[in-house]
Structure 1
Amino acid sequence: MGGRLQPVLAGVVTALVGFASSFTVVLAGLRAVGADPDQAASGLLALCVASGACALWLGLRHRLPLSIAWSTPGAALLVATGPVAGGWPAAVGAFLLAGLLIIAAGLIPALGRAVAAIPAPIASAMLAGVLLPLCTAPVRALVEVPRLAAPVVLVWLLLHRFARRWAVPGALAVAVVAIALTTSGPARLDAAPVVALTAPAWTLPAVVGLALPLFLVTMAAQNVPGTAVLAGYGYRAPLGSALRVTGLATALGAPAGGHAVNLAAITAALAAGPDAHPDPERRWIASVTAGIGLALLGLGAGVATALVLLSPPVLVEAVAGLALLGALAGAVTAAVAQPDAREAAVVTFVVTASGVSLLGVGGAFWGLVAGWLMLLLFRRRTATRPVAEPPEEEAAEEAAAPLPSRTG
């Protein structure tokens, strides 16, 4: 009996950890691009149901532990982007277009390969720049609301040391208690699930500044690492099928406010690893259970949104930032791993993190453009650099010349 229940329990844990560790990021992102409370709750519900449906379909079809989640880096991108031209309808249009692009990547292998061909340092640097503003929120919260933020950070530190899997859910629980003890206004904790549909609209700034970066971040920071995690446990992910299914779910969920659904990267190991079941052939049960659990948790999206609205915004962002610190560390490490692309990666990171908006397009797009240009410039300079040895007289003069002093 224990062996039969093991993958089910692993799936329940995967759903709880996945939802509790990053739903605040989703709500903060949807609110940042113009969603009202009901639209944000609807978006969270749509993402949970869409993720659950995809996990159920893919798990039963392929008998593989294909965990599905919302795009946490994509939600952080929404926070970094902020309001777009055209408001919430234009953001919904960007979500829909991102879903169609994901479908296209599943139908056209060349498009998927083109995304995978983006230099890893540039993609990682853009992701790091997107995550940085949220990851500084715990520091700001400690200064602005120290009595609320200090217990949250302390619990996160302790659990991160002794039970890392539960660090963010534990910090979230402490934040909920702090909100309940310090809130005097009425709480809508009986909020029922709500579906608020919005007709999509399209504006050029939203397409260029939100839809394209959302597609790239979701592919580079979720789908590609998700397949790598599965490969690490001996599974070959059916990437084309997964992209088509999750892209369709993203497109269908966009009018309800869902921004992106994809292969899980952070929680994928919980369902694909040996803790889910000693027999690799039985671990798909964990991912299917996780999908069902996440869909059921989506029914509490209204309550989750109500709790978020009761708290100081910086406290919600602090919990989200704690959840993303690991992702930021991984992105920074990957961005500077290659010495020949390090400067281009730093330029990408700086431009993205600056939050600049030019022609209505946010910093993520311009960071990617700046990094590409920097990389091309340095590669061209390296390619055109003369390789011939200098004449003997010039070489002698160079050897005799004093070395320049280093001041920086």
Structure 2
Amino acid sequence: MSDSARPPGSRTSSSLPGPLSRPILAGVVTALVGFTSSFAVVLTGLVAVGASHAQAASGLLALSLTMGVACIVLAWRYRMPITSAWSTPGAALLAGSGGAAGAGTAVDGGWPAAVGAFLVVAALILLTALVPQIGSLIAAIPPSIAQAMLAGVLLPLCLAPVIGLAKNPWGVIPVVLTWLVFARLAPRWAVPLAFVTATVVIVAGLVTGGASTGSGLDPATLLPHLELTLPTFTLGSLVGIALPLFIVTMASQNVPGIAVMRSFGYEVPWRPAMLVTGIGTALGAPAGGHAINLAAISAALAAAPDAEPDPKRRWIAGVSTGVSYLVLGGFSAAFAALVVLAPASVIPAVAGLALFGAFGSAVQQAIDDPGERTPAVVTFLVAASGVAFWGVSAAFWALLAGLLVRGVLHLGRR
């Protein structure tokens, strides 16, 4: 992928004919959909690897700021609707690595070690930009195994709406029904509107006294803040968090993100994109941000003709997306407080619904090739088991098991 290659929308235009409202609105919608549909997954993942609720809120703010700046820099510089996002599959992986209880006990070294792992991910992303062989090494991992690992990690989270229906039906049923109705009528808004319904459920619980956690809420906690953590480095966190997080971020976000942009006629400059997202990840890591990357599914909202008929003007949607992320970051602490106040199972249900699409896509790619199906199934089962050995999470062992089984089954084959 050439850094100098630019699509039709790459030239600087000193005068932009027509109103700017359409691409600006497209950017706002891109940010709103991306943020509200997966912020609960991010908070769940950070808490699972040992973050306090304040540290998780700090991580959400750090991610919002860094990916907002990344959107603005890349879209403005290359005149393309390039958008950045946090690694939603990566956040799901963190949730699985830390255990369903979210206590972080499965992470060797706790929260400081998780922050150290985030910094290692940033270093690996930067190395990918500087050393093309690293990207080739990631590409050498069979997609079926990488996707099976992701599907196994997502499975427990995707079960949350089902489990929630049994544990708290009156709180979860409205959320699921809202998602179902709008999955039929307006799919891109299904999860955000499910979150809106969850918010109504939470507020109703506070008003009626059903949610006791709200009695001690300090208004100061609603203000956005960054809480820095001194990182530590342990073998378990590096192998069990950093390596799988890097792999799923590359395989499930950056590579598909390039493909989505290419489908709309844009050739994203690979090296600058990795440098910007790698630096952003490094800056956000001490404050709790796990990883930012190129947007994949949400990238189409800013790059498609619906955002702006003229491809030369769609870069405005990328800048608008970045500015909107910066604004949404100002409400990060309020979103985190809402999660704390939520009745049992409501927010996990929203997070699970947000991951249905990613889970379905991962399963499909994992078993699509009959010749790769057995290694993929082994990978999926090990990842879904959640077992951790020697402080190393199941995601790593799933990847190792899948590659081992594949190696044995393909031994002697060309």
Query: TM-score of the superposition, structure 2-length normalised?
Result: 0.91
**8 Å CA contact 1:22, 1:323 repeated in 2:** yes
Q: Does the aligned pair in 1 maintain the 2:108–2:237 contact within 8 Å? A: yes
The residue correspondences of 1:116-155 to structure 2 (distance < 5 A) are: 116-155=139-178
Q: Note the 1:88-167 alignment, pairs <5 A.
A: 88-167=111-190
- Work out whether residues 172 and 345 of structure 2, in 8 Å CA contact, stay in contact via their aligned partners in 1: no
Whose Rg is larger?
1
What whole-Å deviation, never above 9, does each CA across 1:345-401 have from its counterpart, x for those lacking one? Answer: 111000001101011101100000011011111111545xxxxxxxxxxxxxxxxxx
Counterpart pick for 2:297 among 266, 271, 283: 266
- What do the CA deviations read for 1:242-281 (whole angstroms, capped 9, x no partner)? 1111011101110000000000012000001011111111
Q: What corresponds to 1:330 in structure 2?
A: 361
Question: For structure 1, which runs of at least 5 residues remain unmatched after alignment?
Answer: 384-408
What fraction of aligned residue pairs are identical, expressed as a percent? 55
| Counterpart residue number, 1:54 | 70
Displacement over 4 Å in runs of 4+: 187-190
Distance in 2 (CA, whole Å) between partners of 1:381 and 1:373 is: 14
**2:201 matches 1:178:** yes
Q: What do you get for the CA RMSD once the two structures are aligned?
A: 1.2
Question: Secondary structure in 1 aligned to 2:228?
Answer: coil
C-alpha displacement at 1:188, in angstroms?
Answer: 4.8
Q: Deviations over 1:270-329 (max 9, x none)?
A: 001011111111111101100110111011011001100011352211101101100100
Contact 2:205 2:343 (8 Å CA) reproduced: no
SS in 2 for 1:380: coil
- For residue 182 of structure 1, what is the amino acid of its counterpart? G
Partner of 2:287: 256
Of 109-118 and 247-256, more deviation after overlay is shown by 109-118
Aligned to 1:166, the other structure's residue is in SS state: helix
Residue identity opposite 2:400 in structure 1 = V
Separation of aligned partners in 1, 2:299 and 2:340 = 30
Q: Report the alpha carbon displacement of residue 85 of structure 1 after superposing the two structures with TM.
A: 1.1
- Distance, in Å, in 2 between the alignment partners of 1:221 and 1:167 is 22
**Which amino acid letter does the alignment assign opposite residue 165 of structure 1?**
R
Partner of 2:51: 35
Q: 1:117 Cα shift?
A: 2.0
Q: Which amino acid aligns with 1:241?
A: P
Query: What is the CA–CA distance in structure 1 between the aligned matches of 2:50 and 2:287, rounded to whole Å?
Result: 14
SS in 2 for 1:69: strand
Preserved contact between residue 375 and residue 403 of structure 2 (Cα < 8 Å)? yes
Residues 75-94 of structure 1 mapped to structure 2, 5 A cutoff? 75-82=91-98, 83=104, 84-94=107-117
Partner of 2:60: 44
Secondary structure of the corresponding residue to residue 330 of structure 2 = helix
Asked whether the 8 Å contact 1:70–1:260 carries over to 2, the reply is yes
Alpha-carbon separation, structure 1, partners of 2:338 and 2:54: 13
Aligned equivalents of 1:64, 1:189: Cα separation in 2: 40
Whole-angstrom distance in 1 between the partners of 2:137 and 2:54: 37
Structure 2 residue identity aligned to 1:9: L
Q: Does 1:357 align with 2:388?
A: yes
Aligned pairs for 1:214-225 within 5 A: 214-225=245-256
Q: Deviations over 1:217-240 (max 9, x none)?
A: 100110000001001111111111
Instruction: Give TM-score scaled by structure 1 length.
Output: 0.92
Structure 2 residue runs of 5 or longer lacking an equivalent are: 1-16, 99-103
> Quick one: which of 57, 61, 64 aligns to 2:80?
64
In structure 2, distance between residues paired with 1:313 and 1:301: 21
